[in-house]
């Protein structure tokens, strides 16, 4: 058995705490980023035969997700808690 560190927001693990500490602030499952994966407007419109097709119900481009961290998050991001 070995000790590992786990991200508080996803399933990523590593033997080194530094790796997880640097990962967490940019983890796409971190609600502080205010990105698609934690937003109520994020939906999967795919079908079993074609696989997942993620979309935003408000029309934002999911491909812009990489820019959210540097821009302080999506301006229309919401959670159930809002």
pLDDT of residue 65: 64
Model confidence at 73, pLDDT cuts 50, 70, 90, reads confident
| Torsional sign, CA 58, 77, 24, 11 | negative
Mean per-residue pLDDT for 1-8? Answer: 94
The Cα–Cα gap between 14 and 3 comes to 9
Per-residue pLDDT tens over the stretch 15-63 = 999 999 999 998 988 999 888 888 999 898 888 898 888 888 998 887 7
pLDDT of residue 62: 75
CB count within 10 Å of CB 21 equals 12
Q: What is the pTM of this model?
A: 0.71
């Amino acid at each position: 058995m070995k000790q590992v560190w786990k991200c508080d927001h996803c399933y990523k693990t590593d033997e080194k705490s530094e790796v997880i500490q640097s990962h967490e602030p940019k983890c796409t499952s971190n609600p502080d980023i205010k990105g698609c994966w934690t937003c109520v407007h994020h939906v999967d419109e795919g079908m079993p035969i074609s696989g997942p097709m993620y979309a935003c119900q408000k029309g934002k481009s999911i491909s812009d997700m990489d820019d959210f961290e540097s821009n302080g998050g999506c301006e229309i991001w919401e959670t159930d808690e809002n």
